[in-house]
Structure 1
């Protein structure tokens, strides 16, 4: 990969992460889940051409923003590790998540999860998480790791390299409110639910 391509990927990743952090209000104590296909970033089909060099550039851009805003990051592994998540052990323990055992490698976990695992101080894998926001680089399907209710965000960064970028924040479910119906017409008024 040429230096200008590496720089471009790092800048695009940082810009996408920054826009998401600002829109979603990410700060200390919040978690961003990231799913990435480095194959897609490189213009190949997902799962066919993973590249640690691409992952390292993405990681550098995202980490720059993580340090600025103070949020935590969980990197989704590929389906060969059941989409487990790489994070710092301190985050896993703080959130009381279920730990699973594996070391992600490019062919089982993916290049991004593998690079993140090696860059962390004390990496750990969690089975699942309910993150506050998500960044999907290359259509890796991170929705299973977002809190309810996911709210799509349209970033100005629509692609990183050749990969499509999708972002979401989350909000608590709206229970009640002006659109809620509490009683059907013609039914007796009742304060109890069956």
Structure 2
């Protein structure tokens, strides 16, 4: 149900879902091959007790699912504490939502923004402080 709800919103917008596995496979991410055509694919098929239910649902529903180990996502939802931070771009910013749980699982959201580099004399593009440009 969670996958269907997310996919119904994101697919028409051209946004791909990347599902981090859990239960012994938390380094693996399940994603549509079209989203990562040049990524190095790893060989694993998630199952409910080795990969988790959400990744299994994504693998079953995607047109051409692949598993990869590395991705740098712009945003994410962490359902149940799978620690998605390793798969986000470097500067993650918490997103505070009214909904904090799905069932008994904690729900945490994050987005990313570009790094501020250069120190106190540097000047910054204020339009980037809240996220990436929409090219």
Q: State TM-score, norm by structure 1.
A: 0.59
Question: Which runs of 5 or more residues in structure 1 are unaligned?
Answer: 1-56, 182-194
- Structure 1 position 82, deviation (Å): 4.2
Contact 1:105/1:114 (8 A) holds in 2: yes
Of structures 1 and 2, the one with the larger relative CO (CA 8 A, separation 6+) is: 1
Structure 1 residue 180: Cα displacement: 5.0
Number of aligned residues: 122
> Which structure shows the bigger proportion of residues in helix conformation?
1
Partner of 1:26: none
Residues 157, 68 of structure 1: alpha-carbon distance in 2 compared, 3 angstrom cutoff: farther
User: Which sections of structure 2, spanning at least 5 residues, go unmatched?
Assistant: 123-135
> Residues 149-160 of structure 1: matches in 2 within 5 Å?
149-160=91-102
Counterparts of 1:103 and 1:110, CA distance in 2: 11
Query: CA separation in 2, counterparts of 1:137 and 1:155?
Result: 13
Residue deviations 1:121-163 (CA, integer Å, cap 9, x gap): 0100011100000100111100000001101110121111221
Q: Does 1:102 align with 2:44?
A: yes
Partner of 1:75: 19
Distance 2:121 2:24 in 1: 42
Alignment check: 8 A CA contact 2:26 2:82 kept: no
Matches within 5 A, 1:37-56: none
CA RMSD of aligned residues (A): 1.6
Query: Shift in Å at residue 114 of structure 1?
Result: 0.7
Q: Which has more radius of gyration?
A: 1
